[in-house]
Each structure stands twice: as structure tokens, then as C-alpha cells.
């Protein structure tokens, strides 16, 4: 993936004055910025299918342990990094391409008092700014859809994991249906979306040296979740400045419910949860 392609992805996630917008929305919602709870942030910091509940279920299945060093690759504004620290007592490094997201992630983490356990760094998964064997686990949650050179990212994941380390995936892959409806959260148009059939992605991961521990197709559950988002957006219009995905994604967000519900219904996308492990001797 070239720097030019990365800058287009960065542009897709750009929102002017994002941190100030989040602060204003939290204050309007009556939240005390000096002591935020994770649930206060859930409407805005979970930039993936299923929200915090689906993340927690996956983290349990994947067996995250206290004090594990975890890389949250493509962490967004840090929702899952904070969940891993708070609920699983992990030590988390969140990495993201977007400097604006990293700024928000740092601020919100300080507001929740989790700064001792979570740190953030700007960077790309194609060229991870970490030493070999730095992490016990990597969370890769709704990010590979933005990565064209998946083999390069997976190779980097393998390099920075310790022997026996876990790669935990919560990803959208390409289904058998034709014609994705845009905009979707990761892409306003087709040129920003790099979906692959799951079998191809699994092959890339295994070719890098990972061993499969479990794979679960969660498309049915994801489809129901997006149907609920669609219904909610039909029954009440969310103000663009209220605490919700519109703050991060702008006007595109009003189309996500209907488009993602259609994409799952037409089987143009699938949702996969998976755990892979690096060999103990590697």
C-alpha cells in the first residue's frame, strides 16, 4: 500500500475538529469529562459491527489474559483498547493511521483514568513501529477492509508477536453476492474498500506462518445488528452533533444502517471472528 493510498484512507476518516466535537457532545449529554465511564463513550467509540458487547464476547472467546501486552491494530479512537484494559486488565498499545483519532484516543483514555494501561501511537500496520516479539496478542478489528496489501500487514503482525502469540480477528470479508451499497463505515466509495473472500484472507494468514485456532462466521448475528441500526435510523433522526457515529463519520453515517443491512442481506459482505496463533518456536 503506497503512502498515497494511505492518505486517501486517512482522508476518509478525517473529521474537522473531531476532539472538540466529541467533547461538546459528551458535555451536551451531561457527562463529566473528568470521570467518564466506558459506557458513556460506547455510542461513539465502537467503530465496528456489534458494538462493545460483541467485542467483549470475542475477547472472552479469544482468552485475553491480565497483563498481556496487546496491540490494537487500527484502534480508531480507542474504544476496544480501553475495553481490553478495563475488563481484561491487559496492557494495550493502540495504533492508528489517523493522527486525529490518536489525539481523541489519548484524551478519552485520560478521561477514563486508564492511561497507565493504555498508550497510543500513530502509524501504519504495513510498517509497524515496534520491535520483533513485542506483543502477546494483536486485535485486528474492522481494519483489513482498508488494507490492500494484506500479506504485508499480516507479515508485520507475525513479526511483532511473541512466539505462541494470538492474532484475533473481527473482520468484514467479501461475500458471494454482487454490488456493495456505499457508503459503508470503512469506505465512502468502492476505491477505498479492499474486501477479500474469507478463504483468501485465511490463506494469506496461514502462509505467513499462523496456525488456525478457531473461525466463526458471524454474518447472521451481524445482519440482525445492522437491521436494528437501520430501524433506529428510520425512526429517529440523529442530530449530527449528538453523541454517535455521525460525529466521526459525518453525513455518511445516516446511510450506514440501510446500506450495511442490505449488504448482509444480499450476502455481499460477511462477518468473521477468528483466532490464529504464532508457533511457539517461531
Gap between the Cα atoms of 263 and 272, Å rounded: 15
CB of 144 to ligand SAM, least distance (A): 9
CB of 127 to ligand SAM, least distance (A): 9
CB of 279 to ligand SAM, least distance (A): 25
Q: Which is nearer to ligand SAM, 56 or 282 (CB)?
A: 56
What does the binding site for ligand SAM look like in residue numbers (CB under 6 A)? Answer: 6, 9, 13, 46-48, 74-76, 79-80, 95-98, 101, 124-126, 141-143, 146-147, 185-186
Positive/negative CA dihedral, 172, 67, 125, 214: negative
CB of 255 to ligand SAM, least distance (A): 15
Burial readout 18-38 (b: 16 or more C-beta within 10 A, e: otherwise): bbebbbebbeeeebeeeebeb
Gap between the Cα atoms of 268 and 179, Å rounded: 7
* Closest residue to ligand SAM using C-beta atoms: 76
The cell for 65 is 489474559
Q: What number of other Cβ atoms are within 10 A of residue 130's Cβ?
A: 15
| Sheet strand arrangement including 118-122 | 118-122, 91-96, 69-73, 135-141, 161-174, 269-277, 211-217
Q: Which is nearer to ligand SAM, 13 or 59 (CB)?
A: 13
Identify the CA nearest to 254 among candidates 280, 232, 224, 225.
232
CB of 126 to ligand SAM, least distance (A): 5
Which helix (H) or strand (E) covers residue 234, if one does?
Answer: helix 219-235
CB of 122 to ligand SAM, least distance (A): 9
Q: Which is nearer to ligand SAM, 187 or 262 (CB)?
A: 187
CB of 273 to ligand SAM, least distance (A): 13
Q: Which is nearer to ligand SAM, 6 or 282 (CB)?
A: 6
CB of 158 to ligand SAM, least distance (A): 16
Which helix (H) or strand (E) covers residue 257, if one does?
Answer: helix 253-265
Q: Which is nearer to ligand SAM, 95 or 168 (CB)?
A: 95
Q: Which is nearer to ligand SAM, 175 or 245 (CB)?
A: 245
Q: Which is nearer to ligand SAM, 142 or 166 (CB)?
A: 142
| Cross-strand partners of 139 | 72, 168
| Cross-strand partners of 151 | none
CB-based contact 59:88 (threshold 8 Å): yes
> In angstroms, what CA-CA distances link 132 with 58, 125, 156, 236?
26, 14, 9, 49
Q: Which is nearer to ligand SAM, 46 or 259 (CB)?
A: 46
Amino acid at each position: 500500500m503506497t503512502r498515497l493510498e494511505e492518505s486517501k484512507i486517512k482522508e476518509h476518516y478525517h473529521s474537522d475538529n473531531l476532539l472538540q466535537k466529541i467533547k461538546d457532545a459528551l458535555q451536551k449529554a451531561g457527562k463529566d469529562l473528568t470521570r467518564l465511564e466506558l459506557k458513556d463513550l460506547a455510542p461513539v467509540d465502537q467503530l465496528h459491527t456489534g458494538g462493545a458487547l460483541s467485542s467483549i464476547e470475542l475477547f472472552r472467546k479469544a482468552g485475553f489474559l491480565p497483563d498481556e501486552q496487546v496491540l490494537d491494530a487500527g484502534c480508531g479512537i480507542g474504544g476496544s483498547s480501553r475495553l481490553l484494559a478495563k475488563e481484561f486488565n491487559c496492557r494495550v498499545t493502540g495504533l492508528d493511521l489517523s493522527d486525529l483519532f490518536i489525539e481523541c484516543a489519548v484524551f478519552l483514555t485520560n478521561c477514563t483514568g486508564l492511561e497507565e494501561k493504555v498508550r497510543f501511537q500513530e502509524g501504519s500496520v504495513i510498517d509497524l513501529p515496534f520491535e520483533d516479539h513485542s506483543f502477546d496478542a494483536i486485535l485486528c478489528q474492522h481494519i483489513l477492509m482498508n488494507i490492500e496489501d494484506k500479506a504485508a500487514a499480516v507479515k508485520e503482525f507475525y513479526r511483532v508477536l511473541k512466539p505462541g502469540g494470538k492474532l484475533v480477528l473481527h473482520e468484514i470479508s467479501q461475500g458471494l453476492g454482487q454490488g456493495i451499497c456505499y457508503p459503508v463505515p470503512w469506505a465512502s466509495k468502492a476505491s477505498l474498500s479492499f474486501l477479500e473472500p474469507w478463504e483468501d484472507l485465511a490463506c494469506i494468514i496461514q502462509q505467513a506462518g499462523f496456525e488456525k485456532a478457531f473461525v466463526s462466521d458471524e454474518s447472521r448475528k451481524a445482519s440482525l445488528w445492522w437491521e436494528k441500526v437501520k430501524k433506529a435510523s428510520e425512526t429517529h433522526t440523529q442530530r449530527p452533533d449528538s453523541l454517535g457515529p455521525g460525529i466521526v463519520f459525518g453525513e455518511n453515517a445516516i446511510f450506514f444502517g440501510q446500506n450495511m443491512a442490505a449488504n448482509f442481506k444480499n450476502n455481499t459482505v460477511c462477518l468473521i471472528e477468528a483466532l490464529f496463533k504464532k508457533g511457539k518456536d517461531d
